[in-house]
Structure 1
Amino acid sequence: MSYLGYLIAAYAVFVIVLAWDFFATQLQIRRQLRNARLRASREAARISRNELTR
């Protein structure tokens, strides 16, 4: 009785889950950085608009 198939499948699932975790985290970081940049640009535009109206 050989467990080779089970072992290969277990390692394959491990690698797939590990890769998914890495890429999902990278996408989340990218999304949060984009949101922070957009928020900062909106804040800068709001401040410059307020300075022009003074």
Structure 2
Amino acid sequence: MSYFKYVAMAYAVFFLVLAWDFIVPRLQIRQLLREARGRVARSKRSNSAPTDEELSR
């Protein structure tokens, strides 16, 4: 392997890791926000259900 190939591969790995560090946290934040919005929506739905009705079998 020539010196140029070695340097080119090193840069390629560096940019792949840099892209990974840029993309993955944003995907995790998006997932956490989606889960939080779902929890809020579920709590709103459960709070809006009437609680004074008797249970029937």
Which amino acid in the other structure matches residue 37 of structure 1? Answer: R
In the TM superposition, structure 1's runs of 4+ consecutive aligned residues that sit over 3 Å from their partners are none
Computed over aligned residues only, the root mean square deviation of the Cα atoms, in angstroms, reads 1.4
Unaligned runs of 5+ in 2: 53-57
Tell me, in whole angstroms, the C-alpha distance in 2 between the residues paired with 1:5 and 1:32.
Answer: 40
Tell me, in whole angstroms, the C-alpha distance in 1 between the residues paired with 2:24 and 2:35.
Answer: 17
Please state which structure has a larger fraction of its residues in helix.
1
Q: What percentage of residue pairs aligned between the two structures are identical? A: 51
Partner of 1:31: 31
Unaligned runs of 5+ in 1: none
How many positions carry a matched residue from both structures?
Answer: 51
1:45 aligned onto 2:48:
no
Q: TM-score, normalized by length of structure 1?
A: 0.79
